[in-house]
Amino acid sequence: MKILVCISKAPDTTSKIAFTDNNTAFDKNGVQFIINPYDEWYALVRGLELKEANGGSVTILNVGGADNDPTIRKALAIGADDAVRINMEPTDALGVAKQIADYAKENAFDMVLCGKETIDYNGSQVGGMVAAFLDQPFVSNASKLDMVGNTATIERDIQGGKEIIEVDTPFVLSAAKGMAEARIPNMRGIMAARTKPLQVVEPSAFENTSEVASYELPPAKGACKMVSADNPAELLELLRNEAKII
Amino acid sequence: MSILVYANTAINKVHKSAFEAVSYGAQIAEKSGDKVTAVVVGNADNLDSLGKYGADNVVHVTSDKLDDFQPNLIAEAMQKAAADNNSSIIIFSHDLSGKSIAPILAAKMNAGIVTGAVDLPQTDGDFIVKKAVFSGKAYAHVKINTATKIISLTPNALEKKEFNKSASIESKSYELADSRLKVKEQKIQSTDLPLTEAELVVSAGRGLKGPENWGMIEELAKALGAATACSRPVSDMDWRPHHEHVGQTGVAIRPNLYIAIGISGAIQHLAGVNQSKVIVAINTDPEAPFFKAADYGIVGDAFEVVPKLVEAAKAMNHD
């Protein structure tokens, strides 16, 4: 079973969000970068579990510059076999998806796994786009994935509940909570990751279909208005007459 | 030219978020003069209401291949509808269905896309859409460079405007590829309003001490006409169903009012709720981080405060 796991680099959840260059660029100063949690905890770990149970390989794919290599090495330390970095600063999801699809087309994977969204751009775009470029079925927001032969049984989130579906390989899946438990790399994994293959591939040509023109921080929150615990009814008065929302 | 809107349905109804998406399209059309076409896949008994929120016509796609949720095939149908209607802007709701279909369509049409829009696009000069990024901690203004533009709208982000048009309804059966995805079983946990579309949400956390204490939370929600939600530990311990979990790994919501009871306000939880218009925190600990993100707060024991709130809410309903 040949599995491709797409990972994105994202600022740690607790990072302070600030912008530079006249609010056109994210301020990376002092920011700790991690593997996007949905890509790591759910897509990568489930991919590794399937490989451990059925044999095969897990390849990591990232689109980014050389400064992403430590993040990619972490994915290798968790247990992936090899990695590919497409050497391009990502600008929009369609461009990233095209690079992923071009690589996946040449290397025939049984499945392409990614997280349901990144915690920085919150797009939920790349998985569906890769599926479209590869002309493969797309299963989004999956919370369980089991394989019997070439057939996957997948639980996916739908409006108001869940659905169990079946699909044959190849397919593209975006992973949500429930797929797997996060793994912490051990020392052996970290040592092994240093020598695992990380191939750098130059991107194919494409044109940006969208780009961030500027960023904006929300207005600072005013002080929290406190209501006495002895008279909670006052809270409802405030919500009705001051905030006017009930 | 036209603006095409995917109107999501569930259990024989066009969704509230779909009406928001139609109204969003109609507000863009007010400036551009375009026609607004709503596309509905599957059965719904409230198609007439689409005109109320601004659809000029409704294309009802009928195909037995679309009985189950098939994102690839719906994207294919949307592409055909876009060609039929000469559509330059295509709108989805940024809900679980829009998140599946819109990116497929963007790739098929090589169209620039912004998902999770929170405001109308700016169309003087460049076409720029505002969206929340960094899990609600900032906004990005994203420029779309292509002639065809796809936008998905965050549910409950904008007030839906009424246009009171009477939309003509036309059935279409498109030739679609065979589906490669088979639905075996559906587990609909709730037929109520999905959490992402609720305007008022009452949420509780570990401070409630056990699932047996949720009665008062449900009562408060009922008295306010609100949906219920919970924090991650509560859903992890199975005190409450998984689909109620809001936060970084659960669902992100944007209600008009979010009442957090017995939730400390960890950054991962706030990431899922910080876009709420008004936040209320009720917690025994005056140092709970939630008070920094809240507009209103009560320092007190939920077991004393919530029953009083329920009484007050009931009294208010009788006024």
What pLDDT does B194 receive?
82
Within a domain: residue B101? yes
* Dihedral in degrees, nearest 10, Cα atoms A131, A134, A135, A138: -20
Kindly state whether residues B117 and B210 are assigned to the same domain. Answer: no
- CB B193: neighbour CB atoms within 10 A? 16
Does the pLDDT of residue B85 top 60, yes or no? yes
Are B156 and B260 found together in one domain? no
CA distance A57 to chain B (A): 24
A54 touches chain B (CB under 8 A): no
CATH number at residue B283: 3.40.50.1220
In a domain, B68, yes or no: yes
pLDDT band at B319 (very low <50, low <70, confident <90, very high): confident
Q: What is the pLDDT of residue B190?
A: 62
A42 alpha carbon, distance to own chain's centre: 9
Same domain, yes or no, for B130 and B206? no
Residue A19: in which H helix or E strand, if any?
strand A19-20
B264 vs A206, B21, B232, CA distance in Å? 46, 34, 11
Q: Does residue B188 have a pLDDT over 90?
A: no
Contacts of B76 in chain A (CB under 8 A): none
List the domain boundaries for chain A.
2-221
**Same domain, yes or no, for B148 and B209?**
no
Lookup result for tokens 């025939």: A108
B188 within domain boundaries: no
Considering only CB atoms, which chain B residues are within 8 Å of A92? 112
Select the residue from B296, B311, B318 to test the A interface by mutation, using most A Cβ atoms within 10 A.
B296
State in words which class domain A2-221 has: alpha beta
Instruction: Identify the H or E element spanning A59.
Output: strand A57-64
Residue A49: helix, strand or coil by DSSP?
helix
pLDDT digits (tens, 9 = 90+) for B237-284: 999 998 899 999 899 999 999 999 999 999 999 999 999 999 999 999
Kind and range of the H or E element at B230?
Answer: strand B227-230
Residue B243 maps to a domain: yes
B43 domain-assigned: yes
Burial of residue B177, with CB atoms counted within 10 A of its CB: 0-12 exposed, 13-18 middle, 19 or more buried: exposed
Q: Is the pLDDT of residue A198 over 60?
A: yes
Number of structural domains, chain B?
A: 2
CA angle B82, A140, B93 (to 5 degrees): 45
A235 and B133 in contact by Cβ < 8 A?
no
How would you classify the pairing of strands A198-201 and A82-87? parallel
Q: Can you tell me the mean pLDDT for A32-55? A: 97
Contact of B103 with chain A, judged by CB distance below 8 Å, is answered with yes
- Give me the residues of B, 164-223, that contact A with CB < 8 A: 179-192, 194, 200
> How far is B118 from B126, CA to CA, in rounded Å?
18
- Tell me the per-residue pLDDT of A59-116, one tens digit each, with 9 for 90 and over: 999 999 999 999 999 999 999 999 999 999 999 999 999 999 999 999 999 999 999 9
**In this structure, are B311 and B269 located in the same domain?**
yes
Q: What mean pLDDT is predicted for residues B69-75?
A: 96
Q: Is B265 left (phi over 0), alpha (psi -120 to 50) or beta?
A: left
| Tokens 């009814």, residue located | A233
Which of A128, A159, A160 lies at the smallest CB-CB distance from B104? Answer: A128
Q: Is the pLDDT of residue A226 over 60?
A: yes
| CATH number where B158 lies | 3.40.50.620
Residue B261 lies in a domain: yes
Q: Is residue B123 part of a domain?
A: yes
Expressed as residue numbers, the domain containing B218 is: 195-318
Final residue before a domain boundary, out of B172, B203, B219: B172
The tens digit of pLDDT for each residue in B10-46 reads: 778 898 999 999 999 999 999 999 999 999 998 888 9
Under an 8 A CB cutoff, do A157 and B100 touch?
A: no
Any domain includes B182: no
Contact with chain B for residue A52, Cβ under 8 A: no
Note whether B81 and B217 are same-domain residues.
no
DSSP B231-258: -HHHHHTTSS-GGGBBSSSSB----SEE
Q: Taking residues B108-118, report their average pLDDT.
A: 98
Nearest CA-CA partner of B82 in B125, B146, B131: B146
B59 with B128, same domain: the answer is yes
* Same domain assignment for residues B237 and B147: no
Query: Which pLDDT value is given to residue B228?
Result: 96
Contacts of B224 in chain A (CB under 8 A): 246
